[in-house]
Amino acid sequence: MEGMKATYRAMQITRQGGLELVERQTPAPEAGEVLIAVEACGICGADASDIDKADPGLKPPRVPGHEVVGRIVALGPNTPSMWKTGQRVGVGRLGGHCNECSECRRGRFNLCRNQPVVGSSCDGGYAEMMIARATGLVSIPDVLSSEEAAPILCAGIATLNALKKSGAEAGDNVAILGIGGLGHMALQYARRMGFRVVAVGRGEDIAADATKLGAHCYIDTDKESAPDVLNAIGGAKAILTTIANPAAVSALMPALAPEGRLIVLGVGKDPLPVSTGYLVGAERGIVGSITGSPFENEKALDFSVLTGVRPMIETMPLERAAEAVQKMRCGDAKFRIVLTMGDQSNAHQ
C-alpha cells in the first residue's frame, strides 16, 4: 500500500492476561474489508472478559477493544462504493454480518451466526490500525467527536435498543439497575424517551450523577428496598439490568408490574433464579438484548445527536491501556474511559 506507514502500535494480550505495547506490520485489507486508522476506542466491561479468556497460544496475540472510531485509509477489493478513503467510521461489538446465513436472509443482521466478535474472535481497537469487515462499518456524524462517538457504538446502541424492546411507553416506570458504562447511557436515553426513570444502585456516591443523567429518583439498595419503592408507584413496566450479579437482579424482580419485562444486558456465568409462577401469573417476561446492526447503530448515533445524549468520558493514551482497564475493573471509571491514539490524520503517510 503506497504511502502507508509500514508498522503501527497495538496493545496485545499477554499470556499472563495483561497487555503489552507492540509494533506490528501494517496489514492490507482483503476482499470486503477496510483498513482503519483508529482515533479512539472505548473500554467496555466485556474487554476484561476478552482479556481473561484470550487464547494464550494465538499468534499474534489478540488485540481487544470494540468501541472503535477512526478513518478508512485503505479499501479491499469489492468494498461497497458507499465507503471512501478518508471517511470516518466506527465498529462496535459485532464485526460485520455474512449476508448468507438464515438470520441475515431475514434481515436480523445482529443475530448473524458467522460474524466476528470484535476484540474477542478478531483483533479490535486498542491499536493505531485495525482491519474491519465492510458490513460492520458505521458512519459517524460530523458533529460528534471520535471520543464521544466511540462509547455509543456499544454502550449506547446496547441500551437504546434494549429500551426499544422493553414494551414500555412514554409515562411508564422504567428501572435501570447498575449505573456504570451502560447504565449512565440508559438513564439518558430513558429520560428522553419519556419514561419515569428510576436508577437503582449501591451507595449514595452515585445519586447526584444519576439525577444529573436523567433519573427522576435514585434508589440506594444499601438503605432501602427497591421493590418496595417501585411497587409504591405502580411497579416497573421494564427493568433494564446492566449488571451480571444474579442475586441483585433477582432481588429487583418483585418490582416488575404485570406484563412487565426484565431486559438483560449484563452477561454472567451464573444462572438467574426466577419463579415460573411469578412469570406466568402476571405474564411477565425476561428477554436478552444484543447491541444492534450497523444501521441501528447509526440510528443510535443520530438519536444521541438529536437529543443531546453524550457519554461521560475520560481519555487516556493507548500506551496506558493496561492502567485504564484496571481502573474500569475496579469501578473507578465515571463512566467510560476512551483510549486515544494521538493525531491519526496522516496515518496513511
R_g over Cα of the chain: 20
- Who's near 17: CB < 8 A, 6+ residues apart? 51, 52, 54
Grid cell at residue 317: 493514551
The separation between the first and the last C-alpha atoms of the chain, rounded to the nearest angstrom, is 10
- Who's near 288: CB < 8 A, 6+ residues apart? 263, 264, 265
Q: What's the gap between Cα 100 and its chain centre?
A: 25
- Who's near 236: CB < 8 A, 6+ residues apart? 173, 174, 175, 198, 230, 255, 256, 257, 260
Q: How far is Cα 119 from Cα 295, in angstroms, rounded to an integer?
A: 21
| Mean of per-residue pLDDT scores for the chain | 95
The CA-based angle 132-267-48, given to 5 degrees, is 60
Per-residue model confidence (pLDDT) at position 349: 42
The phi, psi pair for 326, rounded to 5°, reads: -65, -40
Grid cell at residue 323: 492502567
* Strands (E) located in 67-156: 67-75, 88-91, 129-133, 138-139
pLDDT, tens only, 76-89: 999 999 999 999 99
pLDDT, tens only, 257-304: 999 999 999 888 889 999 899 999 999 999 999 999 999 999 999 999
Per-residue model confidence (pLDDT) at position 344: 57
Kindly report the pTM of this predicted structure. Answer: 0.95
> 262 pairs with which residues across the strands?
239, 286
CB-CB contact of 184 with 311 (8 Å)? yes
Grid cell at residue 6: 509500514
Tell me what percent of the residues of the chain surpass a pLDDT of 90: 91
Per-residue model confidence (pLDDT) at position 41: 98
Tell me what percent of the residues of the chain surpass a pLDDT of 70: 97
Per-residue model confidence (pLDDT) at position 286: 95
pLDDT, tens only, 100-144: 999 999 999 999 999 999 999 999 999 999 999 999 999 999 999
Give me the domains of the chain, ranges plus CATH numbers.
Answer: 7-154+292-340 (3.90.180.10), 166-288 (3.40.50.720)
Per-residue model confidence (pLDDT) at position 16: 87
CB neighbours of residue 164 within 10 Å: 17
pLDDT, tens only, 135-179: 999 999 999 999 999 999 999 999 999 999 999 999 999 999 999
Q: Is the pLDDT of residue 3 over 70?
A: no
- Who's near 44: CB < 8 A, 6+ residues apart? 66, 67, 93, 151, 154, 155, 181
Q: How far is Cα 260 from Cα 280, in angstroms, rounded to an integer?
A: 12
Classify burial at 269, counting beta carbons within 10 Å of its beta carbon; exposed 0-12, middle 13-18, buried 19 or more. Answer: exposed
Q: How far is Cα 131 from Cα 149, in angstroms, rounded to an integer?
A: 19
Grid cell at residue 20: 503489552
Question: Mean pLDDT throughout 189-218?
Answer: 97
The phi, psi pair for 47, rounded to 5°, reads: -60, -35
